[in-house]
């Protein structure tokens, strides 16, 4: 499927996403495959011991957790991240 190039017009309310946006529809369309992928990612995260609790206890890994965006302030954050 090609990427989405014609977004809907804003309704002026300014939510964090455009209402009923096509990206949401695209994600839902891939829901079955995503659900399996998400389950594998969750298992991998446990294998890597990326839980906030363990992170706090040993403080010894290079970074990261599923919630690293909020909790681990580095270049590995997502938004506005420096390169």
Partner 1 sequence: MKGVSATPSYVVMQPTTLCNLDCAYCYLPFRKDDKRMPVAVSAAVAEAVAPWSRTQRFSIVWHGGEPLAAGRDHLAALFAPFGPAVEHHIQTNATLIDDAWCDFFQAHDVRVSVSVDGPEHRNGERVTRGHRPAYDRIARGIRVLRRRDIPFSALCVVGRPEPGLATELYDYFLDLGCEVLGINVEEQEGVNERTNRHPAADVTAFWSELVAAWRRDPRIHLREIEWSLRYAAAVLDGNADAVLPRRLDPIPTVAHDGSVVLLSPELAGFHDPRYGDFTSGNVLTTPLAQILAGAAGTPWIAEFLEGVEACRRTCPYFGFCGGAHAANRYFEHGRFDVTETDHCRNSKIRLLEGVLDHARDHEPTAV
Footprint on this chain of partner 1 (rule: CB under 8 A): 1-4, 7-8, 10, 14-18, 21-24, 26-38, 40-41, 44-45, 47-48, 50, 59-64, 66, 68-83
**C-beta of 74: minimal distance to partner 1 in Å?**
5
**C-beta of 43: minimal distance to partner 1 in Å?**
8
The DSSP secondary structure of 36-62, one letter per residue, reads HHHHHHHHHHHHTT--HHHHHHH--SS
**C-beta of 57: minimal distance to partner 1 in Å?**
14
- Rg over alpha carbons for the chain, rounded to the nearest Å, is 17
């Amino acid at each position: 499927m090609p990427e989405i190039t014609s977004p809907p017009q804003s309704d002026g309310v300014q939510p964090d996403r455009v209402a009923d946006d096509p990206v949401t529809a695209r994600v839902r369309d891939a829901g079955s495959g995503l659900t399996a992928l998400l389950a594998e990612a969750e298992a991998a995260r446990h294998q890597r011991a990326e839980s906030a609790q363990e992170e706090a206890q040993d403080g010894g890994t290079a970074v990261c957790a599923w919630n690293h965006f909020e909790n681990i302030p580095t270049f590995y954050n997502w938004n506005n991240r420096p390169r």
